[in-house]
Structure 1
């Protein structure tokens, strides 16, 4: 599929997977709308893109409904359409046994990882249905935790399982309108969030063990490939992880 005049909205674009994906999509010819809370970090992402003039920065928070509504209105006003939403914004939390986790911590993770993804998905689908030609693609940043939990990670695990349901429901509801949805489940890409796993990660048997990581560029390249597929092709689930990560047989 030609990427000429193709427009991608990326949340959490200020660092990690979001930043790497933004740069990779820009190199592939996409125009970008980058959304995150830190305007200075968004400018750093923009500066790494080959054509900064094709990158629109919109500082904001995925948990703020009006800011997300404004995000998509701004994207359409600036570029005329939206072809891709990468629901990347997400947070984790400090490891804690379920019975010691505060409600405030749990709700905060739900608000960012699940509610934020829902609001962005809803607004993207409105645009996809109304534009000409209609249709579009959504890619949700899931996790290995959408299938198998880490110890003491109940809020993160619960939200990533919920994102899997959101992905499937979006794919179903979008089917008749040329709207596809993918969940990319990433295991130990080398980002700030996963860097600690190289030192030691808590295992189900209570031990701490260093885990392998891999270059985040491979994630970005996978997303560019999925984004470039025609809309009559859906990749419902895509798993990419460090070969030595303890996932198969975890626990």
Structure 2
């Protein structure tokens, strides 16, 4: 690693937005630590990255796994400049009264607890390293503002991510730590591809929705990451122009 090379950790890097962002930020000259549950797919992501990579498999909701991720990143690269809290999951679109507690808790553990654990470990590093500081980008969602029908677990966690982002930005300010929430709408990922076929609307109908290439999300994150820590992009919304958000259909 050269002295000028910046280092990023990306969670949920085995597919979708995480994979696309890892490839894009690597192409921009960064070293990248890739984290996710599926090691084989992480290795596929690493093979598409141009710069130095580190593959660490684990569960973002497991405290020991997260601590190991950050320790291995520092051992290999010596510092950390960016954390992209991207790992996330949802629950089936079923009525609230039929939702098992286990499903609700699973979404909370991945989307919220995982973000907290990674944020905590990143802040420790950002405060002690020299020069002090760093950047965190949290993957929010359009659902951090407006829900889809039958999406209480996912929507609740994404509203919570907004609170986490604000608290991180405030508490990190004296230490040159900046935090962004990027709210993504209808990027064509494996998780969201079903929306192009048919998405349940508030009026009870099912309609296909406009989608966008996830490449644009990766490019946006590369831009935000390229800014000095003295500059904060606090909230960033990127979505397919034709998706129902304003008015939500």
Fold-level similarity (TM above 0.5)? yes
- In structure 2, the residue matched to 1:10 is 10
CA distance in 1, matches of 2:223, 2:90: 27
Q: What is residue 28 of structure 2 aligned with on the other side? A: 28
Matches within 5 A, 1:81-120: 81-120=79-118
Looking at structure 2, the residues matched to 214 and 155 of structure 1 have their Cα atoms a distance apart, in angstroms, of: 25
Contact 1:139–1:182 (Cα < 8 Å) also in 2? yes
CA distance in structure 1 between the aligned counterparts of 2:179 and 2:98, rounded to whole angstroms: 35
Deviations 1:2-47 (A, max 9, x none): x932000000000000000000000000001110011100000011
SS of the aligned residue for 1:86 comes to strand
Residue equivalent to 1:164: 162
- 1:205 aligned to 2:203? yes
List aligned pairs for 1:224-239, cutoff 5 A: 224-239=222-237
Aligned match of 1:136: 134
Distance 2:248 2:75 in 1: 47
Q: What is the CA-CA distance between 1:50 and the residue it aligns to?
A: 1.6
CA contact (8 A) 1:4 1:30 kept: no
How many residues align? The count is: 247
Q: Matches of 2:58 and 2:128 in 1, distance apart?
A: 24
> Once the two structures are superposed, what CA deviation does each residue of 1:112-140 show, in whole Å capped at 9, x if it has no partner?
00000000000000000011111000000
Counterparts of 1:4 and 1:199, CA distance in 2: 45
Task: Name structure 2 gaps, 5 residues minimum.
Answer: none
The Cα RMSD (Å) is: 0.9
Q: What secondary structure, in the 3-state scheme, does the structure 1 residue paired with 2:35 have?
A: strand
Residue matched to 2:42: 42
1:250 deviates by 1.6
Structure 1 residue ranges, 4+ long, deviating more than 3 angstroms after superposition: none
Deviation at 1:154, TM superposition (A): 0.4
The answer for unaligned runs of 5 or more in structure 1 is none
User: What secondary structure is seen at the aligned counterpart in 1 of 2:59?
Assistant: coil
Deviations along 1:117-168, whole A, 9 cap, x unmatched?
Answer: 0000000000000111110000000000000000000000000000010000
Distance 1:241 1:152 in 2: 21
Please, what TM-score do these two structures have when normalized by structure 2?
0.98
- SS of residue paired to 1:183: strand
Aligned to 1:80: 78
